[in-house]
Amino acid sequence: MKIQPQPDRIIIFDTTLRDGEQSPGATLNVEEKLTIARQLARLGVDVIEAGFPFASPGDFEAVQKIAQTVGTETGPVICGLARATRQDIQTAAEALKPAAHGRIHTFIATSDIHLKHKLKKSRSEVLAIAEEMVGYAKSLIDDVEFSPEDAGRSEPEFLYQVLERAIAAGATTINIPDTVGYTVPSEFGALIRGIKENVPNIDQAIISVHGHNDLGLAVANFLESVKHGARQLECTINGIGERAGNAALEELVMALHVRRQYFNPFLGRPADSEASLTNIDTRQIYKTSRLVSNLTGMLVQPNKAIVGANAFAHESGIHQDGVLKNKLTYEIMDAQSIGLTDNQIVLGKHSGRNAFRTRLKELGFELSDQDLNKAFVRFKELADKKKEISDWDLEAIVNDEIQQAPELFRLELVQVSCGDRARPTATVSLRTPEGEELTDAATGTGPVDAVYRAINRVVNVPNELIEFSVQSVTAGIDAIGEVTIRLRHGDRVFSGRAANTDIIVASAQAYVNALNRLYAAISAPTNLPHAERIGAEV
């Protein structure tokens, strides 16, 4: 969809795949990014920031593939990040070529502290670069977004000047980042008001906001900015992102939805209008949250607003009584509105391949024939152990299949003996990237420890396990267990995830998945550094 210059609604710009992916250990492969991008399109985001094409060949490929498959005529705008250099901008334009509606997002710092220590440039030099590079981007693509990095700490007069020049050079969106997450809501609102009042050509561009959650204020800052003229919000699913993360999409969207009558007048609508303030299909929120959590390995805390496991659980006796009498007593929104109760029992032991494929399609998964076959085998195995298969079980299986690439080491066998009188002992067989099958055994303090030690003896790459968690996908003793782990190698973090009704098998597979990511990263030294390393901190 093409974005109109002065919308009377809020544009949702999702940066899960760019800023969110910069979270330590959240690194996604191209297939995983594509899966998330498809779901973001189904969720109804207006713009997907798909990556930073110049950062690495992998980033370039991901942006290009998303542009090709998700950036259709009726699909979202696909955006690529670029520093204010010709090389970055040209690479972004190249990656975005297949998109029906592409956008280049370029940025340069405007605060004195960044000018002095990072860029080592004067204000007039920065002004000239911003103008020239926005102009260059505009010569390649129609839709250009410009961000003055660290706007929150920039001198206002200089900021106004830079924005005026960027708009004059062709920027159609100007994005105000609170890069270091330092601002409080009243200040952020005043910053946006100041821009609206002091940049002479501001009516020719959409004001956007971007912010980090170091003080837990990103969402509050954004909502305040809407009252002062911001019309695009840059956010991520589950609020993932660098350090404490970005503003959470689900919190912003649901705040604007539940309190639309409060926000209506700021958008020039009648106060009692029931019309939605965003294009988001809120019933897709819960599913998107689970997908992003599964594929990034970034778990959602149980008390997280909107999508946490406890967000809709009214446990206290007084509340339950009230909710039973009338839902609105304690519930300000309905679990159904975020798609939480859509977990239906859908398939069973006798369901065939067609029913399986059809349901996956309805859930938004489009698998290749090969992946579909693998997933179907897993489904049949599960149906033997578990009578009723729900949507969430299907998602767990499919996420597992999507996530297994790159499969350098393959787990062929895992066998454990343990108990209160036995020393936990594990035997594992792994197929190496060269195709050789290696078997080894080890003892440990528990079954998982023994399995990991045995795997380490085969793979032999130094690493430190920093997180291990098991969650059940559905209720019941026969539920699938999802294991998520994170491990550190040097200063990099890799995550792995796997699901199985046997949590020891899931633990072994999750560990092998994480080691495969680690192995792929260290055996591809030609890749340019990841975005965070070349200083893209918009």
**Binding segment toward Zn ion, per CB under 5 A, in 19-27, 54-62, 91-99, 147-155:** 19-27
User: What token pair was written down for 272?
Assistant: 């009692």
Of the pair 113, 309, the CB lying nearest Zn ion is at: 113
Work out which of 10, 16, 19, 160 binds Zn ion, going by CB under 5 A.
19
Nearer to Zn ion, 62 or 515 (CB): 62
Is 30 or 531 the residue whose CB approaches Zn ion more closely? 531
User: Segment contacting Zn ion (CB under 5 A): 15-23, 306-314, 387-395, 419-427?
Assistant: 15-23
The single-letter code of the amino acid at 463 is N
Of 21 and 391, the one with the shorter C-beta distance to Zn ion is: 21
| 371 vs 537 by CB, closer to Zn ion | 537
Indicate the residue among 19 and 251 with the shorter CB distance to Zn ion. 19
Alpha helices in 155-276 (DSSP H): 156-168, 185-198, 218-227, 249-258, 260-263
- Least Å from the CB of residue 246 to Zn ion: 6
Q: Which residue has the tokens 């919308």?
A: 7
Three-class DSSP labels, 40-89: HHHHCCCEEEEECCCCCHHHHHHHHHHHHHCCCCCCCEEEEEEECCHHHH
Phi, psi of 398 (to 5 degrees): -70, -40
Question: How near is the Cβ of 234 to Zn ion at its closest, in Å?
Answer: 8
Is residue 32 within the footprint of Zn ion (CB under 5 A)?
no
Looking at the Cβ atoms of 19 and 250, the one nearer to Zn ion is: 19
What is the smallest separation between the CB atom of 245 and Zn ion, expressed in angstroms? 9
Residue nearer to Zn ion on the CB measure, 252 or 416: 252
Give the residue carrying structure tokens 């299986």: 397
Q: Shortest distance, CB of residue 93 to Zn ion, whole angstroms?
A: 22
Find the shortest distance in angstroms from Cβ 19 to Zn ion: 4
* Of residues 243 and 314, the one with the C-beta less far from Zn ion: 243
Q: What is the dihedral of CA 47, 53, 54, 57, to 10 degrees?
A: 160
Stretch that binds Zn ion, among 18-26, 61-69, 78-86, 267-275 (CB under 5 A): 18-26
Q: How far is the CB of 344 from Zn ion (least distance, A)?
A: 37
Toward Zn ion, which CB reaches closer, 19 or 401?
19
Can you say whether the dihedral through the CA atoms of 106, 109, 110, 116 is positive or negative?
negative
C-alpha Rg value of the chain to the nearest Å:
24
Supply the DSSP string of 6-28, one letter for each residue: S-SS-EEEE-TTTTGGGSTT---
Q: Give 54's Cβ-side CA count (13 Å radius).
A: 21
The CB-of-538 to Zn ion minimum distance in angstroms stands at 5
- Please, what is the minimum distance in Å from the beta carbon of residue 22 to Zn ion? 8
* Closest alpha carbon to 284 in 334, 340, 360: 340
Sign of CA dihedral 440, 442, 446, 452: negative
Give yes or no for a contact between 63 and 311, defined as CB atoms under 8 angstroms apart.
Answer: no
Number of residues that bind Zn ion (CB under 5 A): 1
Alpha-carbon span 221 to 182, nearest angstrom: 10
- Name the DSSP class of 243: T
Q: Based on DSSP, count helices (H) and strands (E) in the chain, helices before strands.
A: 17, 16
Q: Are 196 and 184 in contact (CB under 8 A)?
A: no
CB of 458 to Zn ion, least distance (A): 39
Closest separation in Å from C-beta 536 to Zn ion:
8
Shortest distance in whole angstroms from residue 292 CB to Zn ion:
16
Q: Shortest Cβ contact with Zn ion: which residue?
A: 19
From 16-24, 71-79, 194-202, 518-526, give the range in contact with Zn ion by CB under 5 A.
16-24
Of 11-19, 282-290, 403-411, 457-465, the segment contacting Zn ion by CB under 5 A is 11-19
The stretch near Zn ion (CB under 5 A) out of 14-22, 98-106, 148-156, 383-391 is 14-22
Q: Which stretch binds Zn ion (CB under 5 A): 12-20, 310-318, 371-379, 428-436?
A: 12-20
By residue count, the chain amounts to 538
Residues 389-428 that bind Zn ion (CB under 5 A): none
* H/E stretch holding 398: helix 391-403
Q: Which stretch binds Zn ion (CB under 5 A): 17-25, 134-142, 298-306, 308-316?
A: 17-25
User: CA-CA distance, 208 to 206, in Å (whole number)?
Assistant: 6
- The residues binding Zn ion (CB under 5 A) are 19
